[in-house]
Structure 1
Amino acid sequence: MASSTTEPRVVRVSQKGQATIPKGLREKFGIETPGEVFVYEEQGRIIIEPVPSPDELHGIHAGERERGAVLERVHEMKEEEKRRDTERADRLRPSEDE
């Protein structure tokens, strides 16, 4: 019996803040595992959206020279993640004075 993807479900949140997206929703929205999703707040709710794959983004603006808004946002998020990783590595790296 297939479960409904429109009915609310209780999902446990681990001590690390991890929650499992129910299988029916992952399948319906094409969320691969392992994979990535966008998580953000909108109108007082937590929103989870699949990150489009490069194949899905390819050609969304065929013939145009500017990037699509989704692709631009993905690039921004990746750059921000790289910046945070670099800052963290710099904080953890021993200084030359030590």
Structure 2
Amino acid sequence: MSSSTGEGEVIRVSKKGQATIPKDLRERFGIDTPGKVLIHEEGGKIVVEPLPSVEEMQGAHAGRYKQGEVLEHLREMKEGDKRLEREREGPDRTR
């Protein structure tokens, strides 16, 4: 559940640290569901940026992003996902 203020929306964070990006913002910024966003700290604030889809990184849209920048973020996210999976599987799981 969220509530709107003059400077944004107040979003509830679950016990698992999950928050839902409001639909109007997802639509406005082109965040697909399911999909991924880049979250980082900038100037003491949390910044959430939509990651372009595979289609957006090809063809006519290819020049919109710095070479290697998005790919590096995607690689880091993939490694992070793998690390989380290993942690969830516990110490008994070996690779």
Give the alignment's TM-score, normalised by structure 2: 0.70
Aligned to 1:54: 54
Aligned to 1:92: 92
Q: CA RMSD in A?
A: 2.6
Distance in 1 of aligned mates of 2:8 and 2:83: 36
**Deviation (angstroms), 1:28:** 0.3
Aligned to 1:45: 45
- How many residues end up aligned between the 2 structures? 85
**Identity of matched residues, %:** 55
**Cα contact 1:37–1:49 (8 A) shared by 2:** yes
**Structure 1 residues 88 and 17, CA gap change in structure 2 (3 angstroms):** closer
CA displacement 1:29-79 (0-9 Å, x = unmatched): 111112211111111100111111111111415xxxxx4321232123213
Where do residues 13-92 of structure 1 align in structure 2 (5 Å cutoff)?
13-59=13-59, 60-61=62-63, 67-86=67-86, 89=89, 91-92=91-92
Q: Which runs of 4+ in 1 moved over 4 A?
A: 86-90
Structure 2: runs of 5 or more not aligned: none
Query: Which of these two proteins has the greater Rg computed from alpha carbons?
Result: 1
Structure 1: runs of 5 or more not aligned: 62-66
**Cα contact 1:36–1:51 (8 A) shared by 2:** yes
Distance in 2 of aligned mates of 1:16 and 1:88: 14
